Amino acid sequence: MLSEGQKVSMDVHPDAVITEDFYLDANEVVHVVIGQEEEEKLVALQKILNDKD
């Protein structure tokens, strides 16, 4: 996923937040988080997953 312009790997499924597909090249697609609210939601969901581990 792209978050604040940085490529990050998260365990949160892209369908859990509002994203758009962004094609970096012919072989790589990333999910771009749309908006500050969705980014905060993504971070909160990832924190929940991290706390379970």
pLDDT value at residue 21:
85
Q: Which two tokens stand for residue 49?
A: 């997953």
pTM of the complete model: 0.68
pLDDT digits (tens, 9 = 90+) for 13-49: 888 989 888 887 778 888 888 888 988 998 899 899 8
1 near 19, Cβ under 8 Å? yes
For β-strands 2-3 and 6-7, DSSP reports them as: antiparallel
Which structural domain, as residue segments, surrounds residue 13? 2-52
- What is the per-residue burial (b if ≥16 Cβ within 10 Å, else e) of 4-30? eeeeeebebebeebbbeeeeeeeeeeb
Domain tally for the chain?
Answer: 1
Residue 1 pLDDT level (bands cut at 50, 70, 90): low
Interatomic CA distance for residues 7 and 23, integer angstroms:
12
Selected residue with higher pLDDT from 41 and 1: 41
pLDDT value at residue 8:
74
